[in-house]
Chain A
Amino acid sequence: MAEKPILIIGGGPAGLEAARSIADLGYQAVLVEKRERLGGTPDEAHYAKLTPDLRDAPKAMQEMIDPVTNNPNVKIHFGSTVTSASGSAGNFDVTIKNSKGSTTENVGAVIVATGFQHFDPGRETQQYGYYEHDDVLTLVDLEKMLTEHKVVRPSNGQPPKSLCFIQCVGSRDRQIGNEYCSKVCCGIASKGAIEVRQLLPDCKVYIFYIDMRMYGYWENEIYWPAQEKYKVNYVKGIVTEVVKKGDGLMIKGEDTTLGRPMEIPMDIVVLSVGMEPSAGTREMAKVFGLQLNKYNFIETTGGPLDTVTTTVEGVYACGASTGPADLEDSVSSAGLAAMKAISLVRKAAQAA
C-alpha cells in the first residue's frame, strides 16, 4: 500500500523546508497556510535581510518557496486552517477550513510548523512607552523601514542622529512570565545596527543589553563586525525608562561596566522584542491535543536529542512552534521532522 501524505501546518521557513524535504524524497505533502501566500513571518513582517548572513530576505524566502509551489508532490491549501483532527499515528483525518468551506484530508503524519509571534511591548505594562512615543519602535517596525531603505523618526520624518536598541524586551523576565531567552534578538539587533550604520553613517547606534548572546559563527558574522567595523556601541545595562525630552526622547539606565548612571538623549529607541508562541501554535496544540510547556510552546519529549517529537504519536513540531528558534534551528528541525514523519508513514504503509 502507498504511503499516506504528510500534513504540514504553516508555510514559513520550517514548513517550507519540511514540504521540500518530503517532496524531494518522493512522498506526498499537504501544506496548510492561513495566509494567501507562503514565506511565513519573514514575509509577513517585512524582513529586509536575514540574520546572520544579511542575505536579501524576500529573495532568500522565494528560493524556499519555489521548489514547493507547482510541485506535484505538494498540495497547498492557502487561506486555510486546520480546525479538527481525529484518528491516530499513521491515519489521521483532518478538517481544513477556508473562506469557501471545509475539506477533509486523510494523512499519515502531521508536522506543526506554526511558529511564533513577536512580543507585544504593551501586553503587560506599557513598557518603554511603545504606544506613547512615536519614536519608540520594535525590531519589526525597524525591519519594515530597512526594507524601504528609509530609517526616519516617525514623529518628524527626519533621519535619526542617535538610535538605540533595548534588548530582552519581553524575554528573560519573570515579571512578564517569559523567562526564556528569545535567542535571536541579539543577532537581529546587531544586524539591524549594522544596517542603520550603513544607511546613516552619522547616526550613533547603541545596543543596551544584559548579556550578548551570539553563539557560534554569529560572533564573527555579526557581533564583531558590528563593534569593530560599524562602531556600534554595546553597553551592558538595560534601560529602565524612556522619557520625553524636548522634541526627542531620553533613555535612563545604568552603564554597569563603567559603574555610573546614564541619561542619553535618543532620537529613536528600538525595542528588541522576543518570541512568544503564535496563536496558530496554541490553536494546533488544542486541535491535536499536544501538551504545551510552561511558556505555551509545544512540548517536545526527547530533550536535546530529539527536538521534534511531541506528546502525541505521529505529530511532530518544528521551528519556533517549540520555542525560540533562529532560521538555522528552524530549517534543521524541519528536516528532522520530515524524516521522522516519512519513516512513520513508510512503516504504516508496510504494516498495512
Chain B
Amino acid sequence: MALDLRINKYADVPMEEKQRLFDEVTRDERFEEYLYGCYECGICVASCPSARFYDFSPRRIAQAVAREDVDLVYTLMNDSIWDCSQCFSCDRCPRKNSPGGLITIMREVAVNNGLSSAQEALEGYGRIVYKIMGTGTQVSPDMLQPNAFPDWGPHVKDISDNLDIWRRALPPETLHTTETGWQVDDKTIIELYLIWHMTGVMNMIQEVDEGLYEILVDVMEERLEEEGYDVTFD
C-alpha cells in the first residue's frame, strides 16, 4: 500500500491523543539508545528487506520521531510500522540508531493502546498467539490452513484436508497429534501462564483481540486452578 504523506490521513484524531502516544514512545526506557539523531542518509533503507517490497522506510520512522513530528509519527504508527520484519538490519546506522528498535516500541504502544491498525495487523496471528499461549508450543501441524497461508499455494489445501494421515506417515515420532508440535512439561506451561499474567501480556492481548483474550483466560484460569493457583485475569 502506498503511503501518501502529502495528506494528513488522521487529521480528525485530536492532537492531544497523538502527543500522548508520542510521549509514551519517547518515555520508553529503551528509547534513548534507539534514537540519537538522523541525518537521513538512507543506509537503513538500503539494508532493509521490507523496503524492497513495500512502501516502507525505516529512515522515515527515525526521522519522523527525531523531528518530533507528532502527526507523522501517528500516521506511521498506524500505517507503516507493521511492514517491518524486525530483522534489525537497519542497526548498521552510522549514528547508532535502531529504527527497528523504535518500531518495537511503537508497536508495543500501538498494541497497548488498542489502535485499530494494531488489531488489523495482528488479526492473522490470532491462531498463532492462541497456540503459543494456550499450549506452550510454537507451531503445530493443524495451523497449516489454506485460508491462513494463501501465498503457500493450492497444494496446502490437499495437505490440510488429510493432515492426520500425512502426519502419521512421517518416519519420526510425531505424537500422533496435530494439535501440538511437541510435548510441553506441566511445570513449564504453568510458569508461562504465571509469567504472562504477571507481566501484563494478557492486557495487551485484551487490547487487540477481546475474543482471543476470553478464550485464553478460560483455558489458563482452569488449568491454574487445577494446579492449586488462585489467579484471576481481570
Q: Most chain-B Cβ atoms within 10 A of its Cβ — which of A224, A234, A235? A: A234
Determine, out of A81-89, A148-156, A253-261, A332-340, the stretch whose residues face the partner at the interface: A253-261
The answer to whether A233 and B39 touch across the interface, beta carbons within 8 angstroms, is no
The answer to whether B5 and A233 touch across the interface, beta carbons within 8 angstroms, is no
Provide the bound-state CA to CA distance between A235 and B60, in Å: 12
The answer to whether A259 and B5 touch across the interface, beta carbons within 8 angstroms, is yes
Q: Check: A231 CB closer than 8 A to any chain B CB.
A: yes
Residue of A nearest to B40 (CB): A257
Q: Check: B63 CB closer than 8 A to any chain A CB.
A: yes
Q: Check: B190 CB closer than 8 A to any chain A CB.
A: no
How does the 8 Å CB contact mask read for B212-229 relative to A, with 1 for contact and 0 for none?
Answer: 000000000000000000
Provide the bound-state CA to CA distance between A159 and B141, in Å: 66
The answer to whether A258 and B5 touch across the interface, beta carbons within 8 angstroms, is yes
Residue of B nearest to A224 (CB): B37
Q: Check: B6 CB closer than 8 A to any chain A CB.
A: yes
The answer to whether B6 and A228 touch across the interface, beta carbons within 8 angstroms, is no
Q: Check: B66 CB closer than 8 A to any chain A CB.
A: yes
The answer to whether B60 and A258 touch across the interface, beta carbons within 8 angstroms, is yes
Q: What is the number of residues of chain A that contact chain B, defined by CB distance less than 8 Å?
A: 15
**Contact A258/B36 with A231-B68, A233-B68 known, Cβ cut-off 8 Å:** no
How does the 8 Å CB contact mask read for A192-223 relative to B, with 1 for contact and 0 for none?
Answer: 00000000000010000000100000000000
The answer to whether B6 and A227 touch across the interface, beta carbons within 8 angstroms, is no
CB distance from B40 to the nearest CB of A (A): 5
Provide the bound-state CA to CA distance between A227 and B36, in Å: 8
The answer to whether A235 and B67 touch across the interface, beta carbons within 8 angstroms, is yes
Name the one of B5, B40, B60, B66 contacting A236, with C-beta atoms under 8 angstroms: B40
A contact residues around B36 at 8 Å (CB): 224, 227-228
B contact residues around A257 at 8 Å (CB): 40, 59, 63
**Contact A227/B37 with A235-B67, A259-B5, A261-B6 known, Cβ cut-off 8 Å:** yes
Name the one of B39, B63, B68, B95 contacting A258, with C-beta atoms under 8 angstroms: B63
Report B34-74 residues with CB < 8 Å from chain A CB.
36-40, 59-60, 63-64, 66-68, 72
A contact residues around B6 at 8 Å (CB): 260-261
Provide the bound-state CA to CA distance between A259 and B4, in Å: 9
Counting chain B residues whose Cβ lies within 8 A of the other chain, the interface size class is 10 to 19
Provide the bound-state CA to CA distance between A258 and B45, in Å: 13
A contact residues around B5 at 8 Å (CB): 258-260
The answer to whether B39 and A212 touch across the interface, beta carbons within 8 angstroms, is yes
The answer to whether B68 and A234 touch across the interface, beta carbons within 8 angstroms, is no
CB distance from A161 to the nearest CB of B (A): 14
Name the one of A228, A235, A259, A261 contacting B37, with C-beta atoms under 8 angstroms: A228
CB distance from B31 to the nearest CB of A (A): 12
Residue of A nearest to B36 (CB): A228
B contact residues around A260 at 8 Å (CB): 5-6
A contact residues around B66 at 8 Å (CB): 227
A contact residues around B37 at 8 Å (CB): 224, 227-228
Report B1-54 residues with CB < 8 Å from chain A CB.
5-6, 36-40
Provide the bound-state CA to CA distance between A188 and B130, in Å: 57
Report A234-262 residues with CB < 8 Å from chain B CB.
234-236, 257-261
A contact residues around B68 at 8 Å (CB): 204, 231, 233
Provide the bound-state CA to CA distance between A3 and B143, in Å: 96
Residue of B nearest to A231 (CB): B68
Q: Most chain-A Cβ atoms within 10 A of its Cβ — which of B36, B66, B67? A: B67
Provide the bound-state CA to CA distance between A233 and B65, in Å: 11
How does the 8 Å CB contact mask read for A61-99 relative to B, with 1 for contact and 0 for none?
Answer: 000000000000000000000000000000000000000
A contact residues around B72 at 8 Å (CB): 258
A contact residues around B95 at 8 Å (CB): 224
CB distance from A203 to the nearest CB of B (A): 13
CB distance from B221 to the nearest CB of A (A): 47
Provide the bound-state CA to CA distance between A235 and B64, in Å: 11
CB distance from A232 to the nearest CB of B (A): 9
Provide the bound-state CA to CA distance between A204 and B66, in Å: 13
How does the 8 Å CB contact mask read for B64-103 relative to A, with 1 for contact and 0 for none?
Answer: 1011100010000000000000000000000100000000
B contact residues around A231 at 8 Å (CB): 68
B contact residues around A235 at 8 Å (CB): 67
Provide the bound-state CA to CA distance between A224 and B59, in Å: 17
Provide the bound-state CA to CA distance between A235 and B72, in Å: 14
Residue of A nearest to B7 (CB): A260
Provide the bound-state CA to CA distance between A228 and B40, in Å: 14
**Contact A234/B60 with A260-B6, A261-B6 known, Cβ cut-off 8 Å:** no
Provide the bound-state CA to CA distance between A236 and B64, in Å: 13
30 A-B pairs in the complex with CB atoms less than 8 angstroms apart: A204-B68, A212-B39, A224-B36, A224-B37, A224-B95, A227-B36, A227-B37, A227-B38, A227-B39, A227-B66, A228-B36, A228-B37, A231-B68, A233-B67, A233-B68, A234-B39, A235-B67, A236-B40, A257-B40, A257-B59, A257-B63, A258-B5, A258-B60, A258-B63, A258-B64, A258-B72, A259-B5, A260-B5, A260-B6, A261-B6
Closest 8 A-B residue pairs measured CB to CB?
A227-B37, A228-B37, A257-B40, A260-B6, A260-B5, A233-B67, A228-B36, A258-B5
10 further A-B pairs in the complex, CB-CB below 8 A; given A212-B39, A257-B63: A227-B36, A227-B37, A227-B39, A228-B37, A233-B67, A236-B40, A257-B40, A258-B63, A258-B64, A259-B5
